[in-house]
Structure 1
Amino acid sequence: MGKSTNIYEYHFERTSQHPTPEDLKRLIFSYDKSASEALHRLVGPQERGHRDLYTLVAEYRKTDSVVGELWIEITTIPEWVNWDQIERGQKIFWRYGGASITALVYLSLLGGMGSGRTVETLDRTGGFDAAVVRRRLLETAQHTLGVHKDLVSLQPGGEGFLASVRVRLLHASVRNRIMQLAKTEPAYYSIEDYGIPINDLDCIGTICIFSTMMIWMGWPRQGIYLRQQEILDYLALWRYVAYLLGTPNDWLSSPESARKMMESILESEIKPTKKSKTLAQNIITGLEGVPPMFASRSYQNALAHWLNGSTLATELGIEKPSFWYKFLTAGQCLLFALDGYIKRSVSSWDERNVKFTRRIIYAALIYDKSKGALGYKAKFPFKWIPDLVRTTTPLGKTSEANIKSSGIFSPGAERVAFITLLVFGLMIGCTFYILSWI
């Protein structure tokens, strides 16, 4: 028997097989040297601008041995990769599309700000300033969508493959830049306290928020429980993504080891700071009243509390929701759960649902700029560059226009949740009425 542990309303039994805090601490001083060294050879730590780093690597792979080694690594398919399984794993994201997007935003990304040590790096990039955070999240979503799009997308040269490699190179650029600034001004960033920027533990934690936290927290807290084969397939998908990102990935080889890693990270790393509160608040501010959700701040607060638990949400400075917004959140979860369970029960329905959801989400987040989508394919350039002038991200404020365009009367999530509850309530009422006459 293990030790019963409760971390922010997530309960588990800690055993001797769980990574210890000492095991995890060692990982903050190791990192993806292949990408960092290759980028140092190509652009140096002073890199600025919008050059496509992937194109640079491809161009110099034959003339520079260090760059060539990185190229061989990213284009070599590990022997444990099973493409059929990865393709099944990709479909899971679309099968539960609405719940997937909601969990990624309000659990994985917003809740992930609870890692105070990791936030020290995010805070210095400026990418979570309230004025730019929506675009930053849309670019992150584009990587996520590319990873799940289809099998060709994740194979060498595909959309998801290219996005993953570009994100890896972006991480190396940020790492090199902050380490260079820390040498110039030691007070800017403490490697002793926070570890190497974007270290192995940070990267494992990032993979966790997109994989294990979805499986055992994000979907279940919306009423969706994956089948065992779905769990195996989703972990296989994200193990390959971790490999492309230069992240240690053996812990994803089984559900048992993957879950234990997630639980140890929750216990060791989730320690919110003042900066955690700022970045979490900026995410809500940046998404208030904008398409495609047109969500009010109150509704987003309710989602944050529902998915992260009230203890963590409160420590992140998220206001407690009223009963009305809890009620609406329950309606949204009811819709997502019923939709997912019904459609997955028949294979032909499932296939149509996957294709339809993929098309709708791509249009809403990437293609249809008139409706607030990104409108372009991101190449993840080094845009938000740390410097010694802007050493922290300020707390943002919502514009009056965004506040007015949010809420239940806007064509977004709150209206859909309300309609779901209304229809469900009418169905129950009609059922009881009919039964009373039998």
Structure 2
Amino acid sequence: MDALDSLDEIVPPVSLSFARKDIEETYEPKETEPKENKRHRDLFKLVKEHANRDEKLQKLWSEVNTVPEWVDWDQIERGQNVFWRYGGPCVTTLMFLSLLGGMGARRPVETLTRTGGFGANVVNRRLLETTQHTLGVHDGLEAIQPGGHGWESSVRVRLLHASVRKRIVQLARADPAYYDVAAHGVPVNDLDCIGTMNIFSATVLWLGLPRQGIRPRPGEVADYLALWRWVSYLMGTPHDWLAAPASAKAMMESLLVSEIAPSPKSGVLANNIITGFEGLGPTYASRGFMNAETYWLNGRQLAGELNIPRPSLYHTALCLFFMISGYLCRSIPALDARHIKLARRGLYELLVRNKSKGGLGYKSKFAFKWIPDLVNVETPQGAPIPGRPKTSGALRHAGVERTALLTLLFVGALLGSAVWLAIRAAVGTDILARGLGHVRHISYA
């Protein structure tokens, strides 16, 4: 935040007194985000341009461009491949366990509810921007090295977090009733940032993937943690706990015990996520399917405390899809390599570039768009959005539910055929054995 203070002195921001509602109504993304204007300063560009004019800006710029000695690029590239190997289950984990289940963390929710980015009508775009950053982090070695787009996104998000922290602290000083710093802590503090890195790394490895039936190998665990240690470093987050699997798992477990305590606001934001994505491309997931994923990955207790309705048995059965595909791909080296290549190319195209099918449709610069103010203190729970399909996505669109359903039907037919052939073989062997026994009996006679 010191660097941001210096930047504000060099390039003073305009007044941020306008209401959040104005931003939600007037911000319409095009093929690229709106160019710099009075509302959206390009902080990354400004830091780069003015690094030589200020000691604090120079320190920040030098830090993010310096590669620590513990970074092993070969290992980091292997860590990127872990994500693509289990692409579907990883994205599902990040959506329903890390982000939606993460709403159970009472303190960070106090910050999120004040930004407005989790309103039902904007959360889809907000989380697709997060997805752009996540996919960029894994998009090949050059992407995460200094100068790459994943590296740049990480630095941009770091500056965004600093902006949110500074804005809420300023508002709390102006009106102590707006945000209780003593009760909730400084917004987006080190513990909050560690929690964020945890849900993108350790939570994926030891909760999200295993709960979908996938258990990463020890080497995959170490490689994936190494990648996110580097990302944590870029984002200014304490990262030594990611140096070894044992300490990473211990941190995850400590955060689960100390931080997960849902409040009524937690349920509001969690339900807004589901409302915001209901029936939309590229997944076209129904509310029932998303409820099932939430219960599957977070468990009955947490999902219930987030006020998520209980899912049907049908939607719960569809959750088996990613477990089947994940194990199949990693078991065959040639298929694994092909799957990683296709997933790296296909997911970014689907979720970021392709606006016509529900993707983001532009390259986010992670501008400070959803700005806290003293008028809109909390994000309300959104009602179902008119025009959205309410029936199962499997019956209406070629989305994730239909793919899951067809996969289950295929596997079911395959297993059924195998069982039938095994029974036929067993019956045939039994008949043959009886016949041979009868022949022996006659010959002895």
Fold equivalence (TM over 0.5): yes
Note if contact 1:35-1:168 (Cα within 8 Å) is conserved in structure 2: no
Match of 1:221 in 2: 211
Counterpart CA distance in 1 for 2:58 and 2:400 is 47
Cα drift, residue 134 of structure 1: 0.2
Counterpart CA distance in 1 for 2:209 and 2:231 is 20
Counterpart check, 1:256 vs 2:246:
yes
Counterpart CA distance in 2 for 1:405 and 1:41 is 53
Please, what is the CA RMSD of the aligned residues? 1.5
Note if contact 1:38-1:70 (Cα within 8 Å) is conserved in structure 2: no
- Structure 1, 43-52 or 367-376: larger mean CA deviation: 43-52
Task: Identify if the C-alpha distance between structure 1 residues 392 and 43 changes in structure 2 by more than 3 Å, giving closer, same or farther.
Answer: farther
TM-score by length of 2: 0.88
Match of 2:277 in 1: 287
Q: How do 1:194-343 residues align onto structure 2 when only pairs under 5 Å count?
A: 194-330=184-320, 332=321, 336-343=322-329
Match of 1:98 in 2: 88
Match of 2:61 in 1: 71
Counterpart CA distance in 2 for 1:303 and 1:72 is 42
TM-score by length of 1: 0.89
Match of 1:9 in 2: none
Provide structure 1 residue ranges, at least 5 long, that are not aligned to the other structure. 1-32
Counterpart CA distance in 2 for 1:167 and 1:395 is 26
Task: Identify if the C-alpha distance between structure 1 residues 127 and 428 changes in structure 2 by more than 3 Å, giving closer, same or farther.
Answer: same
Q: Percent of pairs identical after alignment? A: 55
Q: How do 1:122-141 residues align onto structure 2 when only pairs under 5 Å count?
A: 122-141=112-131
Cα drift, residue 348 of structure 1: 3.0
Match of 1:417 in 2: 404
> Which structure: larger Rg?
2
Counterpart check, 1:399 vs 2:385:
yes
**Residues 72-103 of structure 1: CA deviation (Å, up to 9, x unaligned):** 11111111100000000011111111111111
Cα drift, residue 376 of structure 1: 1.1
Cα drift, residue 342 of structure 1: 2.7
Note if contact 1:35-1:169 (Cα within 8 Å) is conserved in structure 2: no
Match of 1:428 among 415, 431, 437: 415
Match of 2:341 in 1: 355
Counterpart CA distance in 1 for 2:269 and 2:88 is 24
Match of 1:179 among 149, 169, 172: 169
Note if contact 1:42-1:56 (Cα within 8 Å) is conserved in structure 2: no
Match of 1:375 among 361, 364, 367: 361
**Residues 166-213 of structure 1: CA deviation (Å, up to 9, x unaligned):** 000000111111111111111101110111110000000000000000
Give the counterpart letter for 2:412 in structure 1.
G
Note if contact 1:367-1:376 (Cα within 8 Å) is conserved in structure 2: yes
Note if contact 2:118-2:269 (Cα within 8 Å) is conserved in structure 1: yes
Give the counterpart letter for 1:125 in structure 2.
T
Counterpart CA distance in 2 for 1:185 and 1:321 is 42
Cα drift, residue 56 of structure 1: 0.4
Counterpart CA distance in 2 for 1:429 and 1:134 is 40
Counterpart CA distance in 2 for 1:136 and 1:341 is 31
Give the counterpart letter for 1:421 in structure 2.
L
Give the counterpart letter for 2:47 in structure 1.
V
Match of 1:89 in 2: 79
**Residues 115-148 of structure 1: CA deviation (Å, up to 9, x unaligned):** 0111000000000000000000000000000000
Cα drift, residue 352 of structure 1: 1.4
Counterpart CA distance in 1 for 2:12 and 2:102 is 30
Cα drift, residue 105 of structure 1: 0.3
Note if contact 1:365-1:372 (Cα within 8 Å) is conserved in structure 2: yes
